Amino acid sequence: MRPEVIVNCAASIDGKTALPDGRALSLSTKMDFRRVHELRNSCDAIIVGVRTVIADDPSLRVKPEFVKAPRKVLRIVLDSKGMTPKGARVLDGTIPTLVATAIGGSRTEALKDARTRGIEIMEMGEGRVDLKALLEELGRRGSRKVLVEGGGTIVWALLEAGLVDHLMVFQRNIVIGGKGPSVAAGDGASSEGTTVPMDLLGVEKMEDGVLFHYVPKAGKNVRGKGEGKGN
């Protein structure tokens, strides 16, 4: 049985997660940061795609300024081709970390070096990481709840495969415009019939924005129904 999957992200009113040229900007407020770190601390693993690591270099830590008793939650990078930079903060070896690659992706020098520092490297899937197989492996290891923090390609792959149980979007009160990165990217739906229907479970006004909590529409998301390919 795979773990419960929570996707969490921050976006503008028009659904953008960065500037049109891909540069990051602050979309969360202090109140939302606290919520996110509390959510991280309640999970068994935090998952991001390699493009998020390259663009933002996140540490994926639970920070003590937001949580009184921060845990060292497992960090997972989805990196099919072994593109994670050698100096990335997620490879610092201070917190349990797993890099999931496609077959052959672990042969890059950066990941060979990461292995020597105690980072677990796992090949799973041909061409791209097999998300369903990865989640099932996490379930076998005892993970009950995982948090996905992007990017958009990963989010769409999980949604399309029916592997998301909760989608939480903090929408800051700004408009970015343009064709920049969005909450869900990838190939996207090809018709109305291939969109992913969701139900709105809750809405909460938070400082300079609103938190939306969605769940898959009843009958549309059976755990493990799809394969899912990511980064």
Using alpha carbons only, give the angle 86, 92, 97 rounded to the nearest 5 degrees. Answer: 100
Q: Any idea how long the chain is?
A: 231
**The pLDDT value given to residue 226:** 47
State whether the Cα torsion 57-148-129-18 is positive or negative: negative
Query: Burial of 202 by CB count in 10 Å (0-12 exposed, 13-18 middle, 19+ buried)?
Result: exposed
pLDDT average per 10 residues of sequence, the chain (231 residues):
97 95 91 97 98 94 95 97 94 95 91 91 95 97 97 95 97 95 93 95 96 88 52 69
pTM of the full predicted structure? Answer: 0.92
Using alpha carbons only, give the angle 217, 130, 185 rounded to the nearest 5 degrees. Answer: 55
The closest of 44, 41, 61, 60 to 52, measured between CA atoms, is 60
**The pLDDT value given to residue 110:** 86
Distances (CA, A) of 80 to 38, 50, 127, 197: 29, 8, 7, 28
**The pLDDT value given to residue 229:** 67
**The pLDDT value given to residue 227:** 55
**The pLDDT value given to residue 218:** 81
Residues 82 and 103: beta-carbon distance below 8 Å: no
CA distance 36 to 54: 21
Residue 71's identity, in one-letter code, is R
Within a 13 Å sphere around the CA of 63, how many CA atoms are in the beta-carbon half?
A: 11
Distances (CA, A) of 169 to 147, 193, 195, 221: 13, 23, 18, 19
Going from the N-terminus, what domains does the chain have, and what CATH number goes with each? 4-230 (3.40.430.10)
